[in-house]
Every structure is written in C-alpha cells, then in structure tokens.
Chains A and B, each alone.
Chain A
Amino acid sequence: MMDMTRNDKNPLNGSHAVEVRGLVKHYGETKALDGVDLDVREGTVLGVLGPNGAGKTTLVRILSTLIAPDAGTATVAGFDVVRQPRQLRRTIGLTGQYASVDEKLSGWENLYMIGRLLDLPRKEARSRADELLERFSLTEAAKKAAMHYSGGMRRRLDLAASMIGRPAVLYLDEPTTGLDPRTRNEVWDEVQRMVAEGATVLLTTQYMEEAEQLADQLTVIDRGKVIANGKVDELKARVGGRTLRIRPVSSADVPGMARSLAEAGLDGVAGSQAVPDEGVLLVPILSDEQLTAVVGLLAARGYAIADLGTYLPSLDEVFLSITGQKPSSEDSAQQTEEVAA
C-alpha cells in the first residue's frame, strides 16, 4: 500500500521498533491494559484500533514514559520503558489526542523551543523551525500565537513539533479525532509523507477508515485486551469490506435467501446475518463481482426485493464480527485516566 523506503538514519536494523509483552495497567478496579502484546516492525505503521476506553491512550502514555506499567515489558528502539526512560525519550516523537503545543507561543517559537530542548544549536534550531513550518504549510502563520490557529493548523503544528528531533518512532494518538473531513485528509497526507520517508509509526484510532488509509498492520484492542491482529486486508476480509443490506417484500423470505446464498458460497467468510426485527438480511461483500452475483442469484430464485443498499461496516460491526460482542460502550477506563491525570 505504501512506499516503505528504509531510513538510513534509523538506528534499528529491520527488527521490531516497538515490542510490547504482557503489558498491564490498572486504575483502581479498572484494567486499562490487561496483558497487551504487540510489535511494530521498523519502517511500518501499526494501527491500534479500538473504541473509547479500550486502553489506547494508556498504551501510548506507557510507551512515552509518561506513566509506568504495573506489569509486563515494553521496549522502543531497544530501550526499556522502565529501565531506560531517558534514552528512550531521545528516540520518540509524540503527537497526542490534544495538541501538545504551547498555546501562547507562536508556531515558530514552539518549534524553536523544542529544538533547543532537543539540544540543537541555536542556528540549527532556527533553520529546522523554518523548514518544518514550510513543510507543514504554516509559514504564513509562523508568528501568530498557536491559540489563534484553526484545529487543523494546530494538529499540523503538533506533528511538526514531533518531527523536530527526527524520531525513530512516532506515536500518533488519535491524530484526527475531532477534525473535519478536509482537515483530516491534510493530516493523513502528512502522515503518509512521513511514512514514505521511513518513519516507524504507532497510530491509535477509533476509525476503521483511518486505519485502512494509514496502517500496514492492525491490532484491535478492546477493554485492555488485544482481540485481533493482522494485516489490514486480512482483517477486512474477516469483517467484510462492505455490507449489503437486503430487505425482501416479505420478511418471511429472509431465511430462505440466506440459505440460497450459503449454498452458492456467496455469503462471504463470516456468513450472512439475518435481522428478523427489521426483516432484512446483511451480507458481507468483498468485491463488485460478488455483489452482482448475489443480486443476480436472488433475482433468479424469484425473491421480491423491496430495498437494498451497501454500506461500510462501522467499528461496532468490526467488533461484532471479530468478537461476537459489542465493544465496551462506556468510557470507564478513559475516565479513570482523566481523574488520575
């Protein structure tokens, strides 16, 4: 999907840039993380997909050395989060869910300050600030205080700030949550550019679409546990790319339709699903050919169809098809984090 040019400056040798084993974090009774394992290969993007409160932010905060795990291990660029936090901090860039720039400082001053904090000489800190503002199309707003920036500009400044030290591993914690679609596309473009240049990225998101756009591998977590792991295409195949929703004139036809499709092998990997209350049948669709064949078959069998349409699965349906249960809807873990913060 994406160009995976190796970054020569990257100190890692094709191994795992991030390795997480059995990571546990409790907040009182709430298990924000309950034994998470995951790997991010160097030069790739791992999408960590999960609903609110799944433990995504807790994971990023542990990997950024902001909080300590209760059990388990995590290494980033070979450095242990608990034993070698100082070295680890030199290798990471963090873009949080909430823009982590100083609102009262201008865009340029924010970047210059971070350059100096990363031990760049004054001259280099200046030129790096100019260079990144240019790259993220913020040159015109360079002297304006960040508090006057739009949501998208802030997020771009935040990305620029994370890039100053040319980090080996970049964390993007829900980088587009709360952005409008146009701004979201801008952020995606920037992330794709960074990846093309060889960055290793751990991306958390609530959106299937975002994971599809940006990630090579996906780890799906819910209630602090990994519930699925794999390449985006594999997971998509398991879930079904699109769903065809068919409502026959007579709802009594639904079971018969499902049987016909199953016999013809047209109901996808997960199988079709009847929703008796609404009198509809949901069929996972992986290709246009399959869609045509399904409609053709039903017509050939003489079923009268009142309504049909396709839609992309929501994250809820992804969870439903992977785990057979609804994702945890309450944000308990997230809220506990905020209280603790």
Chain B
Amino acid sequence: MSTVTTSKPSTPATVSAAAAVGPADEGRIGLRGNLRHIGALVRRNTLQIKQDPESMFDVVFMPIIFTLLFVFVFGGAISGKGQQEAYVNYVVPGLMAMMGMNIAMGVGTGVNDDFKKGVMDRFRSMPIARSSVLIAKIVVELGRMMVAIAILLAVGFMLGLSIKTSVLDLFLSIGLSAVFGASLMWIFILLGLTMKTAQAVQGMAMLVLMPLQFGSSIFAPPSTMPGWLQTFTDYNPLSNLADAARGLINGGAVAHPVWVTLAWSVAITLVTMPLAVRKFRQKT
C-alpha cells in the first residue's frame, strides 16, 4: 500500500520502541465482554443497595407522599370538591413522568460521590470499557424507577385509579417513562462528572427541574395558563411524556406526545451520552 515505510508518528509523546513493533491498540472489548462487565457492575450497585437499604427510601416514599399530597391538596381544587378520584386519573400518569425525573436527578449526585472513592481508579485502570461503569449505574437506576412506578400505581389504584385502555398500554406508558428517564440520567451524569461537589449538582438540578416540573401539564391542565407559558408547556418534554402516559392509560390521541417524547429522548441521549462518556474518560 504505502511506499513510505520509514515514516513515524509525528507526535513524540506517543512514540516508543514497543509501539513501533506492536499494533496501535488491539484491546477492544467485544459485546459479550461488555455485557459481562456491565453485569458485574450492576451486581455491585445492587449489593450496595442491600448494604444500605435507606438508599431505597426515596423510591418507596416519594410516590406515596406525592400522590397523597397532590390528590388531596390540589385534587379538589382542580377537579371540584369531592372529585378527587377524577384527579387521580389525571395526576398519576403525570407523576409517573415526574418520578423518572427525580430519580434521574439522584444519579448525578451518586456519580459525583462515586468518583471521590478509590474504587473508581481501580475500574479505570482495568481492561473494561469505561462506559460500562455508567451504563451499569443507569440499569440499576431504571430498576429503582420501576419500583417507584409500581408503588405509585399501587397507591393510585387504592385511590381509585382505573386503566381505561389495556394492560399493554399501561406497560407502554411505563416503557416510555423509562426511555425518557434514561435519557435524563445522561444529563445528570454529565452534571455529576462536571461539578465539584454533590451539593452543587443537587442545587443545579433543582434549578433546572422546578420550572420543567411545574411549567408542565403534570399537575394541572395548561389551558388556564397564560399563552407564553402554554407555548413553554407545549415543548416541555415532561408535558409531552405526561400527556402520552395519560393518553395511554385514559384513552385518547397519543401519537403526537409519544413521538415528541421519543424525539426528546433520542436527542438528549445523542448529545449528552458522548459528552458524559468523554468527560468520564478524561477525569483524572
């Protein structure tokens, strides 16, 4: 092929006798190896929860407290006194979207904490794909999210939630929440890797979350909101996810909000995942 057989890499920092003989880097990890590593790390994260059961408090109590609060505090005001049950069917699909966001937020502080520990140096000096540490974290957090959604639905059913479509539609709404939740986790992982302390991550996350959560159709229909805010809620991915879940559980048109939610999920993941993995690689 090339006739210039004597040429050497131009950067002196990367030249060495061994490199001149050996191939550039053949240590790429195959898919099966990657899955095995992710599996071992998922086991690690799960055992951590076992050792520290208090870390499950949020996913157990958040859905109970939020559902009771919103149904009984706002339910009457929004759906009419004594009409709380109607509000249950409105707010529970919305809360499903919110669970995803709140749990995703915790991933950022978790990653930030994890990085302060020596074990991260060990992982990074081992022959594993560095992304597998992050992916394992996301898998476990999705599991926690499923627990939160199960409890949310259980509380919902006790308060009179009814599925007006089919179980399949219910599962589709859960799946959509998981897809969107996973994409949000990449944002918070990126934040967690970028910011210096877990508190800073928490503060920053709250700043982003509050307007997104309340400037949405999660808690109340946007029809009473001023026009500029309605425009905001129209594009707010949380509104779309809440609308999609609501449509899937209560019936009605779902195609538009489902596509918008999926588009947001893909876009967020495509932008933030490579940045997060890169940041993770460059961490020193």
Contact = CB atoms under 8 A, between A and B. Distances in A.
Interface of A: 19, 21, 61, 64-67, 69-75, 78-80, 82-90, 92, 94, 96, 98-105, 109, 113-114, 116-119, 145, 161, 337, 340-341
B25 A87 contact: yes
A75 B125 contact: no
A181 B23 CA distance: 46
A100 B51 contact: no
Most buried by A among B15, B33, B37, B284: B284
Interface class of chain B by DSSP: helix
B122 A86 contact: no
B47 interface: yes
B8 interface: no
Contacts of B123: 117
A116 B13 contact: no
A102 B14 contact: no
Q: How large is the interface on B (under 10, 10 to 19, 20 to 34, 35 or more residues)?
A: 35 or more
Given A70-B13, A80-B14, A86-B27, A105 B125 contact: no
A116 B16 contact: no
B133 to A, nearest CB: 10
In the A-B complex, the 7 residue pairs with the smallest Cβ-Cβ separation, listed nearest first, are A86-B27, A100-B118, A116-B40, A78-B18, A100-B122, A80-B19, A64-B125
B284 A66 contact: yes
12 contacts: A66-B124, A74-B16, A80-B16, A87-B127, A88-B27, A94-B121, A94-B122, A98-B118, A102-B44, A104-B51, A114-B122, A341-B284
Nearest to A78: B18
Contact of A86 (B39, B121, B127): B127
Given A75-B17, A78-B18, A109-B47, A65 B25 contact: no
A161 B51 CA distance: 20
B110 to A, nearest CB: 12
Contacts of B37: 116-117
Given A113-B40, A114-B122, A341-B284, A83 B14 contact: yes
Contact of A89 (B51, B125, B283): B125
A87 B27 contact: yes
A287 B93 CA distance: 84
A341 B48 CA distance: 24
B29 interface: yes
A100 B13 contact: no
B12 interface: yes
B26 A87 contact: yes
Contact of B48 (A79, A80, A105): A105
A181 to B, nearest CB: 23
A233 to B, nearest CB: 30
Given A83-B24, A87-B25, A118 B126 contact: yes
Nearest to A77: B18
A73 B13 CA distance: 6
A105 B127 contact: no
Contacts of B278: none
Interface of B: 12-19, 21-29, 33, 36-37, 39-41, 43-44, 47-48, 51-52, 117-128, 283-284
B47 A96 contact: no
Most buried by A among B18, B44, B119, B126: B119
A61 B120 CA distance: 13
Given A109-B47, A116-B40, A84 B19 contact: yes
A98 B19 CA distance: 32
Nearest to B129: A86
Given A64-B125, A66-B124, A84-B25, A79 B18 contact: yes
B118 A99 contact: yes
Given A83-B16, A117-B41, A117-B126, 18 more contacts: A69-B13, A71-B12, A71-B13, A79-B19, A83-B25, A84-B22, A86-B25, A86-B26, A87-B25, A94-B125, A96-B118, A102-B117, A105-B51, A109-B47, A113-B43, A116-B39, A117-B40, A117-B128
Most buried by B among A74, A114, A161: A114
A337 to B, nearest CB: 8
B19 A102 contact: no
B197 to A, nearest CB: 13
Nearest to A90: B127
B17 A340 contact: no
A336 to B, nearest CB: 11
Most buried by A among B26, B41, B125: B125
Contacts of A341: 283-284
Nearest to A101: B119
A195 B29 CA distance: 30
B29 A86 contact: yes
Contact of B47 (A21, A70, A88, A104): A104
Contacts of A105: 44, 47-48, 51
A87 B25 CA distance: 7
Contacts of B39: 116
A68 to B, nearest CB: 8
A90 B124 CA distance: 12
A89 B27 contact: yes
Contact of A145 (B16, B24, B29, B51): B51
